[in-house]
Amino acid sequence: MTSSTGVDAVVAIVQANLIRLRNERSNLFFLVILPLMIVFALGLAIGGDASNNLVGVVDTAPTEASQTVLDAVEDIDNVTVRRYESAQELRDEIVRRAVDVGWVAEPGDGGAVTLQWYAAAGEGFELREVVENTARKLNVDRQVVQLVVEDAAVDEAAAETALDQVAGVIEPTTLERTTVGGDPEDDPANIRAVLAAGQLALFIFLTSLLGASYLLATRLLGVTRRTRAGPVSVPAIIAGEGLSRFLVALLQAGIVFFGSWLLFGVDWKAPWAVLALSMGMALVGTGGAMLLGTLARTDQQVSAIGLTLGLVLAALGGSMQPLQFFPDALRRIAFVTPHAWMNDAMWRILVDGEGFAQIWPSVVVLSAVGVGLLVVASVAMARTLR
């Protein structure tokens, strides 16, 4: 290293670390593929795309009535209809979550049709309402036609024509429906976002700790000693290594954030608040990585300690299962971890609709923990360089 200025030294150290990160191909898997695979798998575990309703239909002998019901459902936005040959096949598909809801149409006498409704627990209430209302209207129309046929002594076609003419003259009754209350935490889209947020906290911290192996290798190979022998100060070396870890942590955050958004449609609700939390967690990960890379003796120690701490703290801090589902006593204990502060704030953003104005205390706590770890790690690293 030939630069004699502190800024140039820091930039050179950061560039060298990022080049090493890029050249090691296994990082593509751990930085990009693995976290997005986990987000995808967790999303599948709670159902398909929340923006599209998949409806299964068994109608082996279509009638005018059954087709009218189907048309009413197909007119709804974001509905995809799949046809099946038997009720058993439809039930199996609902169990596998290949479709959300469905019905079996069984023709009766005089054009009547019976609809057998199938749905997983808690699914398809609005679609069922459309189907039932359409079927109920068809039944009423049939009864009116029969009455006209019997009382006016006209044929059925004339009665149906008269009914259509009356329906076209009468002003229809409109119904405006407003849903009050409800549980946003039961919304599959929110659950998917919360699960993605858990992986965001997990991988920022885990990637940072495992990245301590680069700092350890630099120290064991004598690179830092040779750097120190040149015109590079100890603070510049520490700043360069710390900034390298911080940028990698932010890179990991960006991959999970944008990958979840672009590939799986995760709505982060308040992106700037999420960015602030990610930066706070990146500081924590940076401090932890610096300390681990300075104190560890072997690469095996870094891997063992990094994986253990990364996964245990993530599980205790609500990255595997939301904190809101923890028992009260365990939830209080969970807040000894930085993950709990981030995951709790993410829940409030994604489920409760809060923003930075409400979650900033969590950002302060994460930043304070990160700065504290960085100070301890910097003191320990400075001693090894003198």
**What pLDDT does 175 receive?**
39
23 and 58 co-located in one domain: no
- 178 in a structural domain: no
What is the per-residue DSSP string for 127-148?
A: HHHHHHHHHHHHHHHHHHHHHH
- 175 in a structural domain: no
29 within 8 A of 207, measured Cβ to Cβ: no
154-165 average pLDDT score: 60
- What CA–CA distance (Å, rounded) separates 386 from 381? 9
27 and 58 co-located in one domain: no
226 and 295 co-located in one domain: yes
65 and 22 co-located in one domain: no
322 and 196 co-located in one domain: yes
| Among 26-40, 94-108, 147-161, 331-345, the least confident range | 147-161
CATH number at residue 152: 3.40.190
Q: pLDDT tens digit string along 8-50?
A: 888 888 888 888 888 887 877 888 888 888 877 776 655 544 4
- Is the full-model pTM beyond 0.75? no
- 1 in a structural domain: no
How far CA 113 is from CA of 110, 132, 155, 204, in Å, comes to: 9, 12, 22, 56
95 and 152 co-located in one domain: yes
**Helix or strand or coil: residue 115?**
strand
Instruction: Look at residue 224 and tell me whether its pLDDT is greater than 80.
Output: no
Q: Residue 287 class from Cβ within 10 Å (0-12 exposed, 13-18 middle, 19+ buried)?
A: buried
The set of residues, in sequence order, having a beta carbon less than 8 Å from that of 56 and lying 6+ positions away, is 81, 82, 83, 84, 90, 93, 94, 98, 99, 101, 102, 103, 118
Instruction: Look at residue 65 and tell me whether its pLDDT is greater than 90.
Output: no
**What pLDDT does 334 receive?**
95
Residues of the domain holding 307 = 6-46+187-385
What are the strands of the beta sheet with 113-119, ordered from one edge?
79-83, 53-58, 101-107, 113-119
Which of the two residues, 175 and 248, has the higher pLDDT score? 248
Position 134 confidence tier, pLDDT thresholds 50, 70, 90: low
Q: Which of 55-59, 231-235, 364-368 has the highest mean pLDDT?
A: 364-368
Six-digit token pair at 336? Answer: 């000894």
214 within 8 A of 20, measured Cβ to Cβ: yes
Q: pLDDT tens digit string along 320-339?
A: 888 988 898 999 999 999 99
149 and 298 co-located in one domain: no
145 and 160 co-located in one domain: yes
144 and 199 co-located in one domain: no
Average pLDDT, the chain: 80
* Structural domains in the chain (count): 2
